[in-house]
Amino acid sequence: MATSTEVSEKAQSGAKRFIGGVVEGFYGRPWTMEQRTELFKREQKWGLNTYLYAPKDDYKHRMYWRDLYSPEEAEQLIALISAAQQHNIDFVYAISPGLDITFSNRKEVAALKRKLDQVRDFGCNSFSLLFDDIETEMCPADKQAFSSFAHAQVAITNEVFQHLGEPSTFLFCPTDYCAAFCTPTVTQSSYLHTVGDELLPGIDVLWTGPKVVSHKISVESIEEVSSILKRAPVIWDNIHANDYDPQRIFMGPYKDRPTELIPKLRGVLTNPNCEFYPNFVAIHTLATWCKASADGATKDVEMGDEEQDPCYSPHKALTLALTDWLEEFLSTDQLTACVKKDSSDEEPMQTDLGEHSYVPGPGENPLYTAEPLTLDDLKLLSDLFYLPYEYGPTAKSMLHELDWLKGHSHAAAVKSDQTAEWCSRARHFDDMCEAVVRMFNRLSNAPNRRILYDLYNYICDIKSGVNLAQAYVKSLGGLGKPSAQLMSDDPEPWGFRGGLSGEFQRMLPGHGNRDLYKHPHKTSVYCIRPYCTEDKMDVQRIFVKMQQERQIEDASMTEPPLISDILSTGEIPPSPQCALVLEDDIGPCGYMLALTDAKAAATSIQDTSGRVLEDFPSLITGQVLPRVTDPSPVKRMIGQLLSTMRSCGSRGVFCMLRHSDRRMLDFYTESSSFQPIKMGGLPPDVIAMGTSL
């Protein structure tokens, strides 16, 4: 056996070619044979050289690993291996016997050899044994035969490797395949030490980095694990994997892996999204990374690049990938193939791309014309579905703007020195939302339907969320009615994210504490409760504060008292069961008070018309602080008091508001049926509104 020094020198010397390519190793529906063949063409074109066949849901790869392939299955694998070889791609067949193999049983070892012999007869020359994602407890028979789980795995792996004639590419995936799984640490892991000491030097080891899905992989971390394994690892990179969350897909660039790693690795295989076609960016940018020189000779990174890698720019790699992908999106070749393939279950939305014979006449609707997809659309798509640990620049900007607009909504409700800024940023946010909608429409009309079908659920979901956010910001700015989906007690199913999994997560402590947006605006929880005498001071404080807010706009403004004012200041008490207080997690933040019979109070303050009080004998008033950005609790309080006064026999309710109190005017007009009414003796800046019960 070669010494550890010789092994290390061989691994670092570049005697073997650098492994660069794709592993189909996710959980879920495997790719089709046609897609895999297309992958080989792409890999060859972009300079990659390896494909690792390891789909978790291929029964005979994992669950029924002992079973030989049927003649029909063998025919497919033979064709696939041949296609890979035609494109100079090393086809690596992986098998995962770890779910139930008894390592000490010679019949089990023979079954494993027999299965790999069959695949070798198909023309495959490269293999891999995977022991990932399995239980670590050995059965009693194995405990008697092997001193540890690592010894059992290494013994079988070495034997199979030698049985196959020590192929030039033979990969071993350990059970502890990332630093997070090592006990207690990488350097102190008895499991890894056994692998490093006992595994034959011609066998390469797969490694995912610090975690299963590693945010960053540093040179130091690779040097550390290499010293224990006594060989440079092959990175099985899950940075673009999405099989753990059906709501996410990743189309950002390969990044946070410095090119200094290249001479310290045996290779890199990306395990990308389950959906085949959206992996264009993941594989394309990995190919660009693999071709980067680590000697620092090429300086192509702009000053703003966060990684400052002298040999690789994620931003430039992404732009290059998206430019090439745009050509594929706009290609009609895929559409034609889809139409001609009778057995395909992918039917295009539109197959006739010729000229329309219909010509609209005068005054008729013009024909719908689909706008062509642009590079900016694909950049936006990538930004919205970037990487597991970060959003793209545009997505970050949208979250930041929405958070600021929501947190400063008082600037939209009451004119202040921030009002102009709020309006400007609201318009900017609206423009970004419109760009998402345009991107969705253009993607939906792109000629290559196969890509669209892989993306459709994701882009529908983001369009729905953006539309809700857009409507909400418009309602804050008074530019539209509150969205029914946002404010309704009984929304349509598409107005909220459902599913039992989501319900479980919301019930667990700490849900959402790993949001990629680091300062999310927490959803306010409001409590509406009956008013009590102890609330008198809080109601007065809210009333005075909102009065001061209005006076900021015009310091010379004087406000003669209204009936509603003396109700708010406590000079007259509200009628029984006709007063409500609104609370949030800070404390009281609003109120609604009412008088079922306002005649006595009205005649003492204003010379109101007797006819008006006959039609609208009851009075309602209220205020909410600027931090209450959701109109729905105000709507509920108004509705509850109107119901109470109706049950008391009232014919109608009126309110008095100053024109400067635009926010409460909006609440009454948008949240109920109040209409302006004529009432004598009112100051010119006061409006009376009423509703019949």
Q: Which residues are catalytic?
A: 133
The answer to whether 63 and 33 have CB atoms below 8 angstroms apart is no
Question: How many other C-beta atoms can be found within 10 angstroms of the C-beta atom of residue 80?
Answer: 21
Helix 393-407 and helix 375-384, axial crossing angle in degrees, nearest 10: 60
Please list, in sequence order, all residues whose beta carbon lies within 8 angstroms of the beta carbon of residue 74, skipping any fewer than 6 positions away: 118, 122
SS3 label, residue 555: coil
Helix 149-163 and helix 106-121, axial crossing angle in degrees, nearest 10: 40
Residue ranges of E strands in 253-362: 267-270
Please list, in sequence order, all residues whose beta carbon lies within 8 angstroms of the beta carbon of residue 31, skipping any fewer than 6 positions away: 24, 39, 55, 276
Rounded CA separation 323/319 (Å)? 6
Rounded CA separation 301/289 (Å)? 13
At CA 487, angle to CA 483 and CA 491, rounded to 5? Answer: 90
Rounded CA separation 622/391 (Å)? 42
Please list, in sequence order, all residues whose beta carbon lies within 8 angstroms of the beta carbon of residue 429, skipping any fewer than 6 positions away: 398, 401, 402, 405, 469, 470, 473
* Residue (of 618, 632, 635, 633) closest to 672 by Cα position: 635
Bridge partners of 582, per DSSP, are 528, 590
SS3 label, residue 374: coil
State the DSSP code for 250: -
Structure tokens at 644: 């109470």
Which one-letter amino acid corresponds to residue 329? F
Number of helices (H) and strands (E) in the chain: give both, helices first: 24, 15
SS3 label, residue 370: coil
CA–chain centroid gap for 26, Å, is 19
CA–chain centroid gap for 260, Å, is 30
Rounded CA separation 529/27 (Å)? 50
Half-sphere exposure of 596 (CA within 13 A, CB side): 13
The answer to whether 601 and 595 have CB atoms below 8 angstroms apart is yes
Give long-range contacts, CB 8 A cutoff, 24+ apart: 14-18.
14/263, 16/168, 16/266, 17/49, 18/262, 18/265, 18/266, 18/267, 18/290
The dihedral of CA 195, 199, 201, 205: what is its sign?
negative
Rounded CA separation 149/334 (Å)? 49
SS (H, E, C) 492-509: CHHHCCCCHHHHHHHHCC
Taking every pair of C-alpha atoms in the chain, what is the biggest distance, in angstroms?
Answer: 109
Backbone φ and ψ for 321, nearest 5 degrees, come out as: -65, -45
Measure the CA dihedral 112/115/118/120, to 10°: -50
Half-sphere exposure of 369 (CA within 13 A, CB side): 6
The answer to whether 322 and 374 have CB atoms below 8 angstroms apart is no
